[in-house]
Amino acid sequence: LPHMDPVHRVSIVSRGLAMGFTLIPPKKDRYTETQSHLVETITSLLGGRAAEEMVFDEFTAGAASDIDKATRIARRMVVDFGMSNLGPVYLGPQIETTEYGRTWFQPSEISPEMQAKVDKEIKRIVEESYKQASVILKKNKKKLDLVAKKLLDQETIDEGEFEKLMGKKKKVRT
């Protein structure tokens, strides 16, 4: 994905509740997020689920954390950032601080009809990203198999080894 940072490490070693992980830390400090980067992050998070479907024709609970993160990002895009077909509208709770330092919180007050639209937009973003992840994996099935074999051999792949298996990433103008 053109706007994603490079993969730093991939591991199938179980840690805590994670059965494995892909670590993609930001290459440089990010002061704001773009819509394209957020969508690509969702796509990246859904890659494991898409790979399960493609390789095993079955789902596991292993992608639960990634699905949760992807859905939370999509929700923030729609509700907080105005990055959806609903337009630049903030739909979250109202938080205000008075001149005397008192803070008040008013829960989000949107109609059931608007909530249904919000839910539909979140679902659309996640589903489109999942489809994109599936397309990328199908196109790169041989590379997926190489990474899987390498992980079975040594359990962890660092950035340099990952880049050798995948090839250099094409640069994108920003």
Residue 27 predicted with pLDDT over 70: yes
Can you give the pTM of this predicted structure?
Answer: 0.86
Provide the 10 A C-beta neighbour count for residue 65. Answer: 15
Strand order in the sheet with 9-11: 21-23, 9-11, 156-158
Between 102 and 63, whose confidence is greater?
63
pLDDT bin (cut points 50, 70, 90) of residue 94 is confident
Tell me the pLDDT of the chain averaged across its residues: 89
Residue 37 predicted with pLDDT over 80: yes
Whole-Å CA distances, 152 to 8, 13, 52, 58, 93:
18, 10, 16, 20, 46
Helix axes 35-45, 64-79, angle to 10 degrees: 160
pLDDT bin (cut points 50, 70, 90) of residue 108 is confident
Residue 159 to residue 131: CA distance in whole angstroms: 26
